[in-house]
Every structure is written in structure tokens, then in C-alpha cells.
């Protein structure tokens, strides 16, 4: 694994995600409580970017289909709940999920050295 600097503490806030990169990967970083967390900027549903997703209570929501993931673990907590923010009824959720089963998003452990933040890739 390679340790890659992704941001400084001044770059990251608690109310939104920061889109950055680690090597050739696009990742998101946020401060959740007093911890820095990072996940891939790629929803496992259709591979769409989540950088414009809403960060709320340590969870990021995919802006395209409403899937929600914990920022610190990547764990999926809701799967295909909406289309562009419009809630879907049960049958429509199954159709829009396209047969894909709920999946976690890749997460990365963030380490802090002084004011610099790093992930291992």
C-alpha cells in the first residue's frame, strides 16, 4: 500500500464532503464528529459520482438514486430510495435497482499527521 496525502484539516468541514483524489481514485473526505473519514466517489449501484451528495449525520446520500452510505465505514444503510431526490414507491425501487443487491462503497482509513490527511491505497 502507498500512503497518499489527500487534504489538510483546513480543507475539510463537517457539513459537506470534499472531493479529492488518491492516486488515480476519486475519493470523498469529510469530518464526522472529531474523526476524518473517506469513501470512494463512486456509488456501487451504477458507478455514478457521489460528490454532490448530501452529508448528514455521518451518512452520504447518492444524489442520483438516494442510496445512503456511512462515511466512516462505507456501509450501505439505504439502497435506491429515489431518483434525483424524488422518493420512489416499493415496486419502483426494485425496478430502478436493476436487480443489483445492496452493496457497501469502498472506504479508506484516514490518518492525520499534523494538519495533513492521508489514506493508504
pLDDT in tens, 31-66: 999 999 999 999 998 899 999 999 999 999 999 888
DSSP string, 37-78: EEEESS-TTT----TTSEEETTEEE-TTT--EEETTT--EEE
Q: How many domains does the chain have?
A: 1
Spatial separation of the C-alpha atoms in residues 11 and 53, rounded to whole Å = 18
Spatial separation of the C-alpha atoms in residues 27 and 49, rounded to whole Å = 9
CATH number at residue 68: 2.102.10.10
Instruction: Evaluate the CA torsion angle 107, 46, 20, 12 in order and state its sign.
Output: negative
pLDDT in tens, 61-93: 999 888 999 999 999 998 877 677 767 666 666
Higher pLDDT, 110 or 88: 110
- Domain span including residue 98: 3-120
Total residue length of the chain: 121
Q: Residues 81, 89: contact at Cβ < 8 Å?
A: no
Find, among 67, 93, 86, the residue nearest to 78 by Cα: 67
Amino acid at each position: 500500500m502507498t500512503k497518499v496525502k489527500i487534504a489538510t484539516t483546513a480543507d475539510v468541514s463537517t457539513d459537506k464532503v470534499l472531493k479529492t483524489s488518491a492516486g488515480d481514485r476519486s475519493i470523498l473526505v469529510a469530518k464526522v464528529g472529531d474523526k476524518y473519514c473517506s469513501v470512494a466517489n463512486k456509488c456501487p449501484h451504477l458507478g455514478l459520482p457521489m460528490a454532490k451528495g448530501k452529508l448528514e449525520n455521518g451518512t452520504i446520500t447518492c444524489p442520483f438514486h438516494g442510496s445512503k452510505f456511512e462515511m466512516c465505514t462505507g456501509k450501505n444503510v439505504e439502497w435506491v430510495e429515489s431518483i434525483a431526490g424524488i422518493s420512489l414507491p416499493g415496486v419502483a425501487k426494485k425496478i430502478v435497482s436493476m436487480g443489483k443487491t445492496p452493496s457497501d462503497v469502498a472506504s479508506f482509513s484516514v490518518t492525520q499527521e499534523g494538519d495533513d490527511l492521508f489514506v493508504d491505497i
